[in-house]
């Protein structure tokens, strides 16, 4: 069982370009999340999805979009990248079947640099 996979591992991107970060989980978890990690700020939630077909905005959603067409995949898209989006991006998933927050499991991350 791989858990959560993210691609690419790292990417250098020119400002203004479009970029999609991929996230796939094989745990059949209902909920999925995207975070960005910046030094001194911890992890901040960008977008989330409680179940396939639904998405919601987190703490820092501007400049990002997500979709949840199925249970396993949760891509994050930067429509027009800016240097302030340089960060490490983590995807996570959790099981919400009991109606209470369960442990979130994290992918290995994508290091994105926008020049």
Residues that bind other proteins (CB under 8 A): 4, 31, 33, 35, 40-45, 48, 50, 58-59, 90, 92, 94, 96, 99-109
Q: Report the residue number, 11 or 82, with the smaller CB distance to other proteins.
A: 11
Q: Report the residue number, 35 or 74, with the smaller CB distance to other proteins.
A: 35
Residues near 73 by beta carbon (within 8 Å), at least 6 away in sequence: 22, 23, 24
Are 44 and 59 contacting, i.e. CB atoms less than 8 angstroms apart? yes
Q: How far is the CB of 16 from other proteins (least distance, A)?
A: 28
> Residue 100 and residue 37: Cα distance in Å, rounded?
25
Tokens of 82: 């800016």
Q: How far is the CB of 108 from other proteins (least distance, A)?
A: 5
Strands 10-13 and 110-114: parallel
Q: Report the residue number, 1 or 14, with the smaller CB distance to other proteins.
A: 1
């Amino acid at each position: 069982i791989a858990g959560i996979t993210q691609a690419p591992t790292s990417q250098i991107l020119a400002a203004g370009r479009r970029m999609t970060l991929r996230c796939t989980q094989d745990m059949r978890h209902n909920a999925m999340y995207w975070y960005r990690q910046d030094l001194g700020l911890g992890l901040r939630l960008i977008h989330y999805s409680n179940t396939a077909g639904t998405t919601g905005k987190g703490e820092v959603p501007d400049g990002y979009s997500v979709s949840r067409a199925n249970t396993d995949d949760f891509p994050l898209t930067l429509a027009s990248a800016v240097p302030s989006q340089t960060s490490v991006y983590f995807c996570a998933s959790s099981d919400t079947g009991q109606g209470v927050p369960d442990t979130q499991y994290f992918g290995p991350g994508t290091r994105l640099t926008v020049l």
